[in-house]
């Protein structure tokens, strides 16, 4: 059956990295019998410019209908002063919420060729392979009440609400334990149960799921601030980290940077399997943002977007061997010395976005 992928390239470097990803998809269609049709739509600033909203209802309908969404990046300085509902990021948040993509998988892997690109010592990061599992549809990102209110004396009050329910914590805990079972079997659950009620509930519910469903896994509870510190001190102690929406946002940027560059890391956002159709709603996106300062210059690293497609092959289409092939091709071009601006080292020539894409296609053809 032909698979449907919706591409939402978005703003800034989004369209550039997605252009390279399209070439990779075409390679799999041509050489590996990957039967796919691609559709395109607008999101973020691009959608605001065309339609006045960060994502249209029509684009949302296509996202729901697609087998997977590949997302580029959103945002830029021209929209920074926009009111909340007219910010490009709302497009992404609406996709996450309405597709119910509650599980965000953010691997932080240090490629051997890039050990030197990390700001930490090589022995601290070499061989690093962490999976951050971030809860993506709850917490302070969506909790009500929220807003800014004018007070009687003319000053203002702002409120955001951190909110978690039993079921929200349990389902993300299961995702983390399931992933750990295929890895080293260690889960660190990060919260702030020393100051937050949501942290207490989080800790109790994760403990419950561990005891009742995954007794064979190793579970450590860790306070989120300590987790941030330990990620810099000794990141290789971690296997899977499960945490809430806001802590996951922060800890995943930190973990990503351990590996040398935000430009390298993919992510998958997954929902619950539909019992009737068997389908899992899924959106794949590079961890990096829209990087407006380098947009349009051929400086962006397409690897994170391309590796996001590898996750798509693995998680949405059951094509693990193809995902392995693509991940090896990326490792291969890094070994050969190809470097985009973000991971450049002294003595190497810089590859443009499309040169990196071409090198990956060549490595695929050599390996296939
Ligand atoms: C991320 C980003 C988003 C977030 C922004 C763009 C809304 O930082 O995916 O980590 O805060 O979740
Ligand atoms: Mg973030």
Task: Name the residue among 104, 228, 117 with its Cα closest to residue 175.
Answer: 104
Measure 299 CA to ligand 1 centroid, in angstroms.
22
Mutate which of 54, 82, 89 for ligand 1? The one with the most ligand atoms within 8 Å of its CB, which is 89
Q: How far is CA 24 from CA 295, 325, 333, 367, 368, in A?
A: 21, 12, 14, 14, 13
169 and 253 housed in the same domain: yes
131 and 213 housed in the same domain: yes
Average pLDDT, the chain: 96
Mutate which of 74, 289, 304 for ligand 1? The one with the most ligand atoms within 8 Å of its CB, which is 289
> Does residue 219 have a pLDDT over 80?
yes
Ligand nearest to the CA of 284: 1
Reported pTM:
0.95
| Domain-terminating residue out of 225, 260, 295 | 260
Range of the domain at 330: 1-102+271-368
Task: Name the residue among 56, 52, 57, 54 with its Cα closest to residue 44.
Answer: 54
37 and 140 housed in the same domain: no
What confidence tens digit (pLDDT) does each residue in 46-99 have? Answer: 999 999 999 999 999 999 999 999 999 999 999 999 998 999 999 999 999 999
List, chain by chain if needed, residues with CB within 6 Å of any ligand 1 atom: 89, 92-93, 249
Measure 250 CA to ligand 2 centroid, in angstroms.
6
pLDDT at 347: 87
| Domain-terminating residue out of 260, 286, 301 | 260
Atom of ligand 1 nearest to the CA of 74: 6
Average pLDDT value for residue range 249-272: 91
115 and 242 housed in the same domain: yes
Residues with a catalytic annotation lie at 141, 192, 225, 249, 253
Evaluate whether residue 347 is within a structural domain: yes
248 and 284 housed in the same domain: no
Average pLDDT value for residue range 107-113: 92
Domain total in the chain: 2
Mutate which of 85, 249, 252, 266 for ligand 1? The one with the most ligand atoms within 8 Å of its CB, which is 249
Residues in Cβ contact with 267 at an 8 Å cutoff, skipping those fewer than 6 apart: 104, 105, 106, 107, 252, 284, 285, 286, 287, 308, 311
Measure 247 CA to ligand 2 centroid, in angstroms.
10
pLDDT at 248: 97
Atom of ligand 1 nearest to the CA of 89: 7
207 and 138 housed in the same domain: yes
Q: What is the DSSP letter of 278?
A: -
What confidence tens digit (pLDDT) does each residue in 244-259 have? Answer: 999 999 999 899 889 8
Atom of ligand 1 nearest to the CA of 245: 12
Altogether, the residues listed in the chain come to a count of: 368
Q: Quick one: how far is CA 243 from the chain centroid?
A: 14
pLDDT at 43: 98
> Does residue 348 have a pLDDT over 80?
yes
Provide the pLDDT confidence category of residue 185 given band limits of 50, 70 and 90. very high
144 and 240 housed in the same domain: yes
Evaluate whether residue 308 is within a structural domain: yes
Instruction: Take residue 112 and report the two structure tokens written for it.
Output: 């051997």
251 and 160 housed in the same domain: yes
203 and 320 housed in the same domain: no
Evaluate whether residue 266 is within a structural domain: no
Rounded to a whole number of angstroms, the CA Rg of the chain reads 20
Share of the chain above pLDDT 70, in %: 100
254 and 277 housed in the same domain: no
8 Å CB contact between 239 and 222: no
245 and 275 housed in the same domain: no
| Domain-terminating residue out of 260, 285, 300 | 260
Evaluate whether residue 65 is within a structural domain: yes
Evaluate whether residue 265 is within a structural domain: no
The CATH number for 319's domain is 3.40.718.10
Provide the pLDDT confidence category of residue 10 given band limits of 50, 70 and 90. very high
Atom of ligand 1 nearest to the CA of 93: 7
Alpha carbons 218 and 174: distance in angstroms, whole number: 13
Q: Please, what is the end-to-end C-alpha distance for the chain in angstroms?
A: 23
Evaluate whether residue 250 is within a structural domain: yes
Provide the pLDDT confidence category of residue 262 given band limits of 50, 70 and 90. confident
Evaluate whether residue 34 is within a structural domain: yes
234 and 120 housed in the same domain: yes
Average pLDDT value for residue range 165-178: 98
């Amino acid at each position: 059956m032909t698979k449907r992928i919706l591409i939402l390239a978005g703003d800034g470097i989004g369209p550039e990295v997605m252009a390279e990803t399209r070439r990779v998809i075409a390679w799999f269609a041509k050489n590996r019998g990957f039967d796919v049709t691609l559709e395109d739509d607008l999101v973020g600033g691009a959608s605001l410019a065309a339609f006045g909203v960060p994502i249209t209802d029509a684009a949302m309908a296509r996202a729901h209908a697609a087998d997977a969404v590949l997302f580029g990046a959103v945002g830029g300085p021209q929209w920074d002063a926009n009111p909340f509902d007219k910010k490009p990021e709302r497009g992404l948040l609406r996709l996450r919420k309405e597709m119910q993509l509650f599980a965000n998988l953010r691997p932080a892997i240090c490629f051997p060729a890039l050990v030197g690109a990390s700001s930490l010592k090589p022995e601290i990061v070499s061989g690093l392979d962490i999976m951050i599992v971030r809860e993506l549809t709850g917490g302070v990102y969506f909790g009500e009440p929220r807003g800014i209110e004018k007070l009687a004396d003319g000053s203002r009050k702002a409120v955001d609400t951190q909110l978690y329910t039993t079921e929200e914590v349990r389902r993300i805990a299961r995702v983390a334990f399931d992933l750990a079972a295929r890895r080293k079997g260690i889960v660190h659950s990060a919260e702030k149960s020393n100051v937050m009620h949501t942290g207490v509930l989080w800790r109790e519910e994760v403990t419950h799921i561990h005891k009742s469903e995954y007794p064979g896994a190793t579970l450590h509870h860790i306070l989120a601030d300590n987790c941030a510190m330990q990620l810099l001190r000794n990141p290789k102690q971690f296997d899977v980290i499960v945490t809430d929406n806001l802590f996951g946002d922060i800890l995943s940027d930190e973990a990503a940077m351990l590996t040398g560059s935000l430009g390298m890391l993919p992510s998958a956002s997954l929902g619950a399997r539909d019992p009737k159709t068997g389908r899992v709603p899924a959106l794949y996106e590079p961890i990096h943002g829209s990087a407006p300062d380098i947009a349009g210059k051929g400086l962006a690293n397409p690897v994170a977007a391309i590796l996001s497609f590898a996750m798509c092959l693995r998680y949405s289409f059951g094509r693990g061997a193809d995902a392995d092939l693509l991940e090896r091709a990326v490792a291969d071009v890094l070994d050969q010395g190809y470097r985009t601006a973000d991971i450049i080292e002294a003595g190497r020539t810089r590859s443009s976005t499309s040169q990196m894409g071409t090198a990956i296609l060549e490595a695929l053809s050599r390996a296939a």
